[in-house]
Amino acid sequence: MGGCKGCAEAAPPAAQPRDRRAHVTAVVGPPNSGKSTLFNRLTGLRQKVANFPGVTVEQRVGRAQLEGGRELLLVDLPGIYSLEPHSEDERVTRDVLFGRMHDIARPDSILLVLDATNLGRHLVLAAPILSLGIPTLVVLNMADDLRARGGSVDVEALSRQLGAPVALVSSTTGENFEAVTRFLLSRPPAPAPVELPVLQDVPKCRAWAADIGSRASYRPPAPSLWTQRLDALFLHPVWGPLVFGAVIVAVFQTIFTGAKPLMHLVQGLVGTSGDLIATYLPESPIRSLIVDGVWGGVGAVVVFLPQILLLFLFIGILEDSGYLARAALIADRTMAKIGLQGKSFIPLLSAYACAVPAILATRTIENKRDRIATILIAPFMTCSARLPVYTLIIAAFIPHRPLLGPLLGTQAAAMLGLYLLGFLAAVATARLLKSSILKSERSPFVLEMPPYRRPTLRSLGLRLLDRAKVFLRRAGLVILPAAVILWCLAHFPLMDGKVPPIEQSLAGTLGRTVEPLIEPLGFNWKIGIGLITSLAAREVIVGTLGTIYGIEGDAHSTGLQKALQKDLTPAGAVALLVFFAFAMQCMSTIAVVRRETASWRWPLLQFLYMGLLAYAGAFTTYRLLTGWLR
Amino acid sequence: MQLTFKRAAEEKTESQRRPHLRTLTDLERGEHGVVERLDLPERAARRLMELGFVPGAWVTAAHTAPGGGPTVYRVDGSEIALRKETAAKIYLRSGGRRHS
């Protein structure tokens, strides 16, 4: 959660009454000092590591298991430059450190993580942190990098100057991590630095840091040659944008074609296990509920897990390698044209995976109006929940043919077109918002360029595991209930003690009720049922259609695609794609927008705006295409 | 302290009055200069100083994003990207060596 405004002046809470309260250790450091990698290594828990300043927007809590069965609570906090917050995520860190956060006690100790290759600047943060009076271990991270590039530092001397223990470690290799665990196991005293500067005076603080650095005979390493070489390519006036474009196309082509074998595998597993369950259960309505409702409904969505994980893998590599910051730099000019700035580009890019983390990531944007505008346009970006819907309809209605040689097929091109459509809607909406209700002065764009780093398998693996868990939990909490409710609606009311034909069921009645409203878009009542259930989450429509056709006995023999071809005209199919590109069918997003903007006004406005746009867009598409395709 | 914080309304007049003063935007790629002062609102100036743009700091201009976007500056071991409008508010000491 964001900073708590109401309790900003409250006194730090006393230690919790329960005496067995776990010892809390906060992991603090400037952006890009490798806090999250260190956190990952200590807890082995899910954690987002990124090479981009300010990506860790929620404080993550994990448990570190130490020798002797002792357990510690570790909190990974958003990166800060000082204790003067400029954005929402920096406020979170300050509030936790001051003990002003509701659900977390004031930390008992701190791991201050600094980049050993950039100590001149990172040491500045030691002043405000040590002045908190909380036992602190100063962790100089990236020891391997420092050595490789010819830098050095006298750890003992630095420790004497700071009056706190110092450990030179590497989070990527695990070098000298014993020093960290030893600190966590001990009950160290509060730091006693030789002297501290006046914290409000930034130049004095920097002079202090420089002085401490020279007393500890700090020799900064040579600039990273790789970073310079790669920047010469990625920020080149001609090659830079070309590489940018090539990266995007390669990502989409791979998700669409590369994921296929894996998806077939999962599909096979879901099918076989469903059949297996069916053989063990006696013929009854319960068997139908489990096999058709639960297995069919959830299975239809789980099939897309490989595709979604592949997308997250790409975003993870781009983020962890440091390329994303360069992409933000390239995008800044374009973003400025629509009234936003390069920093909005990062949340918008993660919105391609899911709008919920994207909306949380907007906390790094300092300007409040820019932040709200970014939140409002983020759901237009083609999130992974749209993929199952797009994939199904495209595969059913667009013939697979090469378009640009082997590089780009018609189906991938259609997919790319839909991504572009969402992007254009976002751009147009941003312009609209920034020239009307969210007009503001241009805020300064300041972005730190992290050095390029090789993404570690550990952090990518943890990230994918995390995503898979979120996806499956969602399948269990949103998609499963939706599938069960739909199954019930499709099987009742019983007629003469028998399951009614789908038209006569409750679901059918519901679909027929909305049919007049959606008929102008080229959708019939079956699609109508899908549109209703997809208000919970977009991908639910796939399971819903599976259930509807499953009841008709079509799903297994001819497949969902063939069944759809009977019910939708090509024009209606394109209209449906357009509808899904624009509509805000996601309860999780609505909830998170409500939470982050602290009012119902914005999510309501967003829902209505996107819904109207979806309706108008689908209507226009259907009208134009029906005339044209004939 | 030689820093001056100007209110937003006064911002433009400063560079118009003394056009001969050099700012970060005058640095060619690979060229460096020494920061004299920041002519920005206090909050923005503070953040930039935290990132290394303090008076007396050596700044080297590096890449500029394609199409005249923000420019990357090397300062105190870090690389920070600034838009032209912000870089134009960071004044450099006159004289001094060029090209490192």
Q: How many angstroms separate the Cα of B88 from the Cα of each of B15, B19, B63? A: 9, 11, 16
Query: Which member of B67, B81, B85 has the closest CB to residue A449?
Result: B81
Answer whether residue A126 is part of any domain.
Answer: yes
**How far apart are alpha carbons A547 and A300 in whole angstroms?**
10
- Helix H or strand E segment including A24: strand A23-28
Query: Which member of B72, B74, B76 has the closest CB to residue A120?
Result: B76
Instruction: Enter the pTM of the model.
Output: 0.75
**How far apart are alpha carbons A362 and A434 in whole angstroms?**
16
Q: Which residues does A367 contact at the CB level (< 8 Å), separation at least 6?
A: A341, A440, A443
Question: What pLDDT score does B16 carry?
Answer: 53
Question: Which pair of tokens denotes residue A391?
Answer: 């994939």
Q: Given its phi and psi angles, is residue A280 left (phi above 0), alpha (psi -120 to 50 degrees) or beta?
A: alpha
Answer whether residue A201 is part of any domain.
Answer: yes
Contact list, B74 vs chain A (CB under 8 Å):
223
Q: What are the φ and ψ backbone dihedral angles of A80, each rounded to 5 degrees?
A: -135, 155
Contact list, B46 vs chain A (CB under 8 Å):
84, 202
**How far apart are alpha carbons A612 and A606 in whole angstroms?**
10
Closest CA to A139 of A164, A117, A166: A166
- A71-76: strand order across its sheet: A60-65, A71-76, A23-28, A109-115, A136-141, A166-168
Contact list, A241 vs chain B (CB under 8 Å):
66-67
Contact list, B44 vs chain A (CB under 8 Å):
444
Answer whether residue A39 is part of any domain.
Answer: yes
Answer whether residue A331 is part of any domain.
Answer: no
How many structural domains comprise chain A?
1
**B80·A449 Cβ contact <8 A:** yes
Residues of chain A with pLDDT under 50: 1-19, 46-57, 552-558
Q: How many angstroms separate the Cα of A60 from the Cα of each of A36, A313, A505, B30? A: 9, 20, 46, 40
Q: Residue A28: beta bridge partners?
A: A112
Question: What pLDDT score does A14 carry?
Answer: 38
Which of B5, B73, B74, B76 is the mutation pick for testing A, counting most A CBs within 10 A? B76
CATH number, domain with residue A99:
3.40.50.300
Cβ A83 vs Cβ A107: under 8 Å: no
Q: How many CB pairs under 8 A join A and B?
A: 106
Burial readout A528-547 (b: 16 or more C-beta within 10 A, e: otherwise): bbbbbbbbbbbbbbbbbbbb
Question: What structural domains does chain B harbor?
Answer: 8-92 (2.30.30.90)
Q: Tell me the residue range of the domain where A86 lies.
A: 23-222
The ipTM (two decimal places) reads 0.78
Name the residue in chain A with its Cα closest to that of B48. A446
Question: What pLDDT score does A143 carry?
Answer: 92
**How far apart are alpha carbons B97 and A78 in whole angstroms?**
39
> Is A126 an interface residue toward B (CB < 8 Å)?
no
Answer whether residue A32 is part of any domain.
Answer: yes
Chain A nearest CA to B60, separation (Å): 13
Query: Which member of B8, B50, B68 has the closest CB to residue A202?
Result: B50
Q: What are the φ and ψ backbone dihedral angles of B60, each rounded to 5 degrees?
A: -115, 135
Q: How many angstroms separate the Cα of A12 from the Cα of each of A8, A9, A482? A: 10, 9, 44
Q: Which of residues 186-245 of A touch B (CB under 8 A)?
A: 202-203, 206, 220, 223, 227, 231-232, 235-238, 240-241
Question: What pLDDT score does A23 carry?
Answer: 81
Answer whether residue A215 is part of any domain.
Answer: yes
Q: Which residues does B88 contact at the CB level (< 8 Å), separation at least 6?
A: B15, B23, B24, B25
Q: Which residues does A357 contact at the CB level (< 8 Å), separation at least 6?
A: A350
Contact list, B62 vs chain A (CB under 8 Å):
231
Q: Which residues does A191 contact at the CB level (< 8 Å), separation at least 6?
A: A130, A133, A134, A135, A136, A162, A163, A164
Question: What pLDDT score does B6 carry?
Answer: 46
Beta-carbon count within 10 A of A5 CB:
8
**B72·A235 Cβ contact <8 A:** yes
**B72·A449 Cβ contact <8 A:** yes
Answer whether residue A59 is part of any domain.
Answer: yes
**A447·B81 Cβ contact <8 A:** yes
Q: How many angstroms separate the Cα of A584 from the Cα of each of A486, A587, A588, A615? A: 20, 9, 10, 11
Closest CA to B5 of B35, B33, B38, B32: B38
Which of A449, A452, A453 is the mutation pick for testing B, counting most B CBs within 10 A? A449
Cβ A505 vs Cβ A490: under 8 Å: yes
**B70·A448 Cβ contact <8 A:** no
**Residue A103 burial (CB < 10 Å; 0-12/13-18/19+)?**
exposed
Cβ A446 vs Cβ A365: under 8 Å: no
Question: What pLDDT score does B17 carry?
Answer: 53
Answer whether residue A170 is part of any domain.
Answer: yes
**B72·A342 Cβ contact <8 A:** no
Question: What pLDDT score does A126 carry?
Answer: 92
